[in-house]
Structure 1
Amino acid sequence: SGSIKSRGGIYEVLCFAEKIAIENGFDLKKDNYQDLRKDKYRKLFNQWRIEVASTGNLGLSVGLMASTLGFKARIHMSHDATDWKINKLRQNGVEVKIYDDNFSNAVAAARVSSQRDPYSYFIDDEGSKLLFAGYATAGERVKKQLSEMQIEVSKEHPLVVYLPAGVGGSPSGVAFGLKLRFADAVIPIFVEPTHMPSVLLGMASGLNHDISVYDIGIDGKTAADGLAVGRPSMIVGKYMTDKLFGIETVSDSDMFAYQGMLTKLENIVVEPSAAVGLRGLIQSKEISE
């Protein structure tokens, strides 16, 4: 599915699949996880529907993993979602429900939909600890990669990490995982669109999940569909208070410029949301000069 959301989304789907399998005879000590793709388990999984609300990337990772294992899947998407993500899900047998509304309201509708069905499992992007744990595995991966490249990380040579933030769950999980591995030697900085500074607003006001950008008249219009979230998660303010170094914002015009530079100079093609972190690197260079 090609995004950081895969770490959390795929992990939570697998955790739920494991739970259902264990309740139906799967033995962690004897059985192989490859067995979960056998007809016996696919029939069990097919009794359940996994639901999630998403602006795109989380829905893509959850939908693709769920359908691969045999679950029914329903992805509730806000109007910010891009057509190619919607089409990819539907091509893989996933039901996609589009709301002509913002992400926070799509989450509320998805939660109600799931509660009505006893065989529905809801993945809550605004408060799931399993998603958070999945994202946090990035800390161990980054430590291993830097060690293999013989790059020192210490208080004297800190690791500064610029993390795109939407609802804030995935960058918080990554930052948490990095803090576990590098402690004070890592400096996490969130980057948000200027028209969708949900985490910045929540943490600066102290209201966290109880305030939305729409509450103070910000229009929420951005081409960064993966970050098009007006209200932060229930987790980010609680877990990041003493871990996050800061938050900065970037305009859509700058975001498109960074996206183009990355393609031209490095031949790396990313969607707009993934390019916002370059703001920090470019600004740091300008300050140092």
Structure 2
Amino acid sequence: MLERMISTSDVERAAARIEGHVRRTPVFGDDGVWFKLEHLQHTGSFKARGAFNRIIAAGELSAAGVVAASGGNAGLAVAHAAREFGVAARVYVPVNAPAVKVAKLRQLGAAVELVGDKYADAYDAAVKDAADRGALFCHAYDQPEICAGQGTVGLELLADLDGLDTILVAVGGGGLMAGIAAAVEGRARVVGVEPRTAPTLHAALAAGEPVPVEVSGVAADSLGASRLGDIAFAVAVRAEVGSVLVDDAAIVSARLALWDRYRLAVEPGGATAYAALLAGAYRPEPGERVAVLLCGANTDPATLTSPTTAPPAARTPR
């Protein structure tokens, strides 16, 4: 399992590699809560950090470039990073991937391959293609360079918020959680927040190992991994990462609250960490300094309805 671990030093090296390639996203506080606006990152999610770190760390690439499998955000990040370095990118996605993300992939110059009706189908096709053509495979969440790159968000939070106690982070495959937990280990606590309809971390901690889970619900397009990554599990156990679950209704309410209160447009996965506070799934102690990571903004603005109208429809699992 040791080769599947990452440490603070891995995240620090990643930060040095990707400096100048990613945005240092802002933090703002309101009513005792601090929001890290990572949905303002390149391509609309934190995933750009890991993609740049993976590609830069690999060194010289073959003419085949890079390959990824993604329901959306990871593929967008890989396509963006590849374009910045002038290398080819091919992204495999399920046929039911959100149209807004597929269109953006093509705008970024990636070759898009629609395969199967779930993420696992796209993943298998991408792995085979990378091996056949000698391309660099960029995992959506379970590679050391990917996790370490995502963890640079945690270093920024430590630098920007004195006395930070807790970071609430949405969990899908767990790469973001793993990176942040490694970055802040011994200095702040990390709590993973998941939809009840996609509890990869919660199930893994209960079972003592990553296990498959059924995935559905409003945030499935971005938090729809069916199994927690091995790196994420190893780091979560070592760093004693907490785990809480929220209902789809709480995610929808949190997303609408972010829009109504602050005019912050995030996707359902991006609102999941905030849902833990609004729904009471996580209750801070008096004086506890809590940061909420808003991790993604790749959403259809038409679904930013007011609380008096119908909530967004549940999305098909990736």
TM over 0.5: yes
**Superimposed CA distance per residue, residues 187-216 of structure 1 (whole angstroms, 9 cap, x where no aligned partner):** 2111111111112212211231xx211xxx
Alpha-carbon distance in structure 1 between the residues aligned to 2:71 and 2:96:
6
- Once the two structures are TM-superposed, the CA of residue 57 in structure 1 deviates from its matched residue by 0.8
Alpha-carbon distance in structure 2 between the residues aligned to 1:239 and 1:285:
23
After alignment, is 221-230 or 279-288 more displaced? 279-288
**Superimposed CA distance per residue, residues 7-66 of structure 1 (whole angstroms, 9 cap, x where no aligned partner):** 1112212333xx11xxxxxxxxxxxxxxxxxxxxxxxx6823200111211110111110
Which of 46, 50, 63 is the aligned partner of 1:4? Answer: 46
- Once the two structures are TM-superposed, the CA of residue 91 in structure 1 deviates from its matched residue by 1.7
Q: How many residues align?
A: 241
Alpha-carbon distance in structure 2 between the residues aligned to 1:232 and 1:79:
23
**C-alpha spacing 1:231/1:80, structure 2 compared with 1 (3 Å):** farther
**Identity over the aligned pairs, expressed in percent?**
25
Secondary structure of 2:140's counterpart equals coil
The one-letter code of the counterpart of 2:159 is: K
> Which residue matches 2:152?
137
- Once the two structures are TM-superposed, the CA of residue 170 in structure 1 deviates from its matched residue by 1.5
- Once the two structures are TM-superposed, the CA of residue 75 in structure 1 deviates from its matched residue by 0.8
The TM-score, its normalising length taken from structure 1, stands at 0.77
> Which residue matches 1:48?
64
The yes-or-no answer on 1:204 pairing with 2:206 is yes
1:102 touches 1:230 (CA, 8 Å); kept in 2?
no
> Which residue matches 2:76?
60
Aligned ranges for residues 1-289 of structure 1 at < 5 Å?
1-16=43-58, 19-20=59-60, 47-79=63-95, 81-118=97-134, 120-146=135-161, 151-153=162-164, 159-179=165-185, 183=186, 185-208=187-210, 211-213=211-213, 218=214, 220-224=215-219, 225-282=221-278, 283=280, 284=282
The one-letter code of the counterpart of 2:212 is: S
2:255 touches 2:271 (CA, 8 Å); kept in 1?
yes
C-alpha RMSD of the superposition: 2.0
- Once the two structures are TM-superposed, the CA of residue 286 in structure 1 deviates from its matched residue by 9.0
Larger Rg: 1
**C-alpha spacing 1:268/1:130, structure 2 compared with 1 (3 Å):** same
**C-alpha spacing 1:248/1:80, structure 2 compared with 1 (3 Å):** farther
Unaligned runs of 5+ in 2: 1-42, 287-318
Unaligned runs of 5+ in 1: 21-44, 154-158
The TM-score, its normalising length taken from structure 2, stands at 0.71
The one-letter code of the counterpart of 1:131 is: I
**Superimposed CA distance per residue, residues 67-122 of structure 1 (whole angstroms, 9 cap, x where no aligned partner):** 2321111111134531111101112221111223322332222111211112x111
Alpha-carbon distance in structure 2 between the residues aligned to 1:104 and 1:246:
27
1:104 touches 1:231 (CA, 8 Å); kept in 2?
no
